[in-house]
Amino acid sequence: MVLRDEIQDIELLVIGGGSGGYVAAIRAAQLGKKVVLVEKSEMGGVCLNCGCIPSKALISAAHRYVHMRNSGITGLKAIDVEIDFAQIQHWKQSEVVNRLKTGIHSLMKKHKITVFKGEAEFISDREARVYNEQETLRFRFENCIVAVGSRPIELKPFPYGGRILSSTEALNLEEIPKRLIVIGGGYIGIELGQMYAKFGSQVTVLEGTPNILPGFEKDITRVISKHLDTLGTTVYTDAMAQSATQTDEDITVTFTVNKEQKQVTADYVLVTVGRRPNTDGGLGLDRIGVKIGERGLVEVDQQGRTSIPNIYAIGDIIPGPALAHKASYEGKIVAEAITGLPSIFDYKVIPAVVFSDPEIAAVGLSETEAKERGFEVMVGKFPFAANARALSLTASEGFVKLVGDKKTGLILGGQIVGTNASDLIPEIALAIEMGTTMEDLALTIHAHPTLGELSAEAAEVALGYPIHI
């Protein structure tokens, strides 16, 4: 290892090259800052390498496979559809993940951002040591942005290894498991469980709460539950996983439901019970006095500033949902704050998407949340089954639901369950951001026939003059 004793003076140090860190570095460079970014693993972080992107690639492949076997269109049928899972994994990595990663490296070069592959450790609130197996450097910085992300939570009875997988290992299996147990019926568990079920796995989901996808209203999760049934997936709710016994060939999980003990055996167990912020490692945040609150989350102000004025934090290590797009947004805000702009966090509009089948997307307030906040609520709900484009896509499951303030007509929130929900939610998000009313949305001419019409039709329902239902 080469140790360089001299201290290099820099303007901005970014620790972490994930969705928050690399975006923060680019925005700061655009605003004239000289930036050094430290990433211990791969650029793009969890989202690009072992999260959002590879999972959506495999989910897309599984969805295509199902549609090739059964298009839903009378007179159109494929015979002998084959799966080469090794080739699918190769496509996911080379054509999707690596291609995007190359793009990020190109952006770093374009904006003259120095990238150091290694780990970082604070020496003081103005100095950090960065190192890898070959060299160690010391940087004295004016400001620092910490964006070190999170990792899967590990349950004591189910330590990762062997046949017990985190989402990272589940996305890199060399073959499709014949049987899979998923502990945790949140968005990651449902996405990956459904994906493997489509490829032919016999999937069992164990969820500890009364419903899968906790946080979403029952009329939404009911649609997903129905689809899980059609795939032959077994779902246990109010189920508490207790222990696992592994052999060379399989793994058996013991769990309880309604005080009754049960067992299920599979090739693998996938544990998806949440994520833990990476604030407890060797970075040394506590050593330099950065305040860390509940669940290991860093306390920050409206500009991402920690208790140390020149050190900022973004992404999964600060309060709020652990979402890649939230981290990227925060990265831009913090970079602007460091350069003196009056930018602050505004979390009024953060879309949440579950890439289940059908997809779920939500933004703003749900009907329940709006009522709890004292609004007199107006609701418009329009089904995919009454939309011409949805029928032509053989995708009639689900609905669009808009929630508004009856007194002002303002749109407060929207929930979608149905095909392409992830692509439909931005219109509702923009409507909330811009202070749009139900009437504004209803009077906006939408192209026909499109799925986009669903939002306008839902607004008409809320106003009391629906045309197509």
d(CA 429, CA 455): 11
* 188 marked as part of a ligand binding site: yes
Buried b / exposed e over 8-27, threshold 16 CB at 10 Å, is eebebbbbbbbbbbbbbbbb
Q: Does the annotation flag 162 for ligand binding?
A: no
Listing DSSP states for 388-415 in one string gives: HHHHHTT----EEEEEEETTT-BEEEEE
CA–CA separation, 11 and 32 (whole Å): 10
Enumerate residues 6+ apart whose C-beta is below 8 A from 444.
456
- Tell me whether residue 189 is annotated as binding: yes
Cα-based distances in Å from 338 to 33, 142, 285, 291, 345: 9, 10, 19, 20, 13
Question: At 297, which amino acid appears?
Answer: L
Annotated binding-site residue? 187: yes
Within 13 Å of residue 172, how many CA atoms lie on the same side as its CB? 10
d(CA 86, CA 438): 49
What distance in Å separates the CA atoms of residue 221 and residue 204, rounded to the nearest whole number?
A: 17
Active site residue 90: no
Q: Catalytic pick from 67, 105, 227, 448?
A: 448
185 is in an annotated binding site: yes
How far out from the chain centre does Cα 449 lie? Answer: 30
Contacts of 367 (CB under 8 A, 6+ apart): 217, 377, 379, 401, 403, 413
360 carries a ligand binding annotation: no
Q: Find out whether 184 is annotated in a ligand binding site.
A: yes
DSSP 12-42: EEEE--STTHHHHHHHHHHTT--EEEEESS-
- CA–CA gap between residue 254 and residue 236 (Å, rounded): 13
- Residue 265 class from Cβ within 10 Å (0-12 exposed, 13-18 middle, 19+ buried)? middle
Closest CA to 159 of 280, 271, 277, 265: 271
Residue 186 annotated as lining a ligand binding site: yes
What does the alpha-carbon distance between residue 7 and residue 174 come to, in Å, rounded to a whole number?
A: 46
Q: Which residues are annotated as a binding site for FAD?
A: 56, 316
Any idea which residues carry the catalytic annotation? 448
Q: Which residues are annotated as a binding site?
A: 56, 184-191, 207, 274, 316
Q: Which residues are annotated as a binding site for NAD(+)?
A: 184-191, 207, 274
